[in-house]
Structure 1
Amino acid sequence: MTDQCECGATAGPLGVCVDYYHGILAEEQADPQMYAWHAPVVCAYLLQHPSRAREKYLDGQFRQLQLYVDQGLDALLRVAAHQVARNGHGARSGYDMEPLAPYEPLPVGGPPERFRAAFSGLPFREGSFVADGHAAYGRHIQLIAEATVEGWRSLRS
């Protein structure tokens, strides 16, 4: 096991960020309340570890993460529900970029070498990421999302 992650973070008790990411994905399948943070978890993880992502989707993921940081989880969930409804029932209208238009495109020249908060720093107690409650888990995901947006924006400076 390596002790350094692609995002610049050091390994935590569970390993590097991918170990935490897989643990989150597994746990949220059994916990609908935890699953509410699925979109920001995926966006932040892939933006911090772009070698595991499809490059063509990173810009949209960066914009979604900015929306989440700017307007909160409920706004992001509303946009996601709008996309699902728009693409459901045989409609082929495609992805609606309008809700994400106000947000900056993904900066070129990334990824940043390091982020101030990463997945390997998430608390994991009693076999769970939500042992301290869902609100605390949400605050940790918010900090990772903020650090991810901040890290990418720093490339513009």
Structure 2
Amino acid sequence: MAQCDCGATAGPLGVCADYYNTILAEEQLDPEMYKWHAVVVCAYLLQHPSRGHEKYLDSQFRWLQFYLDQGIDAVLRLRAHQVARNNHRSRASYDMAPLEPYPPLPAGGPPARFRTSFSDLPYGDGGFILDGHAAYGERMRTLASATAEAWKSLGPGS
């Protein structure tokens, strides 16, 4: 059975990248599902850091912690705040202040395994929203929690 670079075995859709790309495609058709976009991206790149840019992993780790601490509505507000600051007329930079209270990314990663990975996500009639948006949101919380937990197990942040 194929194994993903995060240590997970492939699921019915394939390796985690296949799940991730399918989620991104489904999000484009479902604004309610898109609410978890930042969580999905951060969790995927923290579980598969070779697919992203190392310089962003710390902020992605902090975003996940922010989400786990304050919830999806706070993430949506912060995302809207960041988009407004990024407006070419505002000339403001990315605002790290809301993420500063959270511990930095631990050194020595990535973790070898995660309690939950993308290839563990159920998929069926209705795609990833097969049993509703609330259940999908709970699965995203579980995925985010497993990701943050595995990184935190490496020790203190750098």
- Structure 1: 5+ residue stretches without partners: none
* CA distance in structure 1 between the partners assigned to 2:81 and 2:111 by the alignment: 31
For residue 115 of structure 1, what is the aligned residue in structure 2? 114
* CA distance in structure 2 between the partners assigned to 1:12 and 1:56 by the alignment: 30
For residue 50 of structure 1, what is the aligned residue in structure 2? 49
* CA distance in structure 1 between the partners assigned to 2:142 and 2:6 by the alignment: 15
- Structure 2: 5+ residue stretches without partners: none
For residue 86 of structure 1, what is the aligned residue in structure 2? 85
* CA distance in structure 1 between the partners assigned to 2:126 and 2:67 by the alignment: 27
* CA distance in structure 2 between the partners assigned to 1:53 and 1:146 by the alignment: 20
2:75 is aligned with 1:76? yes
For residue 155 of structure 2, what is the aligned residue in structure 1? 156
* CA distance in structure 1 between the partners assigned to 2:109 and 2:150 by the alignment: 9
* CA distance in structure 1 between the partners assigned to 2:136 and 2:20 by the alignment: 14
Matched letter for residue 69 of structure 2: D
Moved over 3 A (4+): none
For residue 129 of structure 1, what is the aligned residue in structure 2? 128
TM-score by length of 2: 0.96
Identity over aligned pairs, percent = 67
SS at 1:116 equivalent: coil
TM-score by length of 1: 0.96
For residue 100 of structure 1, what is the aligned residue in structure 2? 99
SS at 1:126 equivalent: coil
TM-superposed deviation, 1:86: 1.4
SS at 1:93 equivalent: coil
* CA distance in structure 2 between the partners assigned to 1:80 and 1:156 by the alignment: 28
* CA distance in structure 1 between the partners assigned to 2:69 and 2:150 by the alignment: 15
TM-superposed deviation, 1:89: 4.8
For residue 5 of structure 1, what is the aligned residue in structure 2? 4
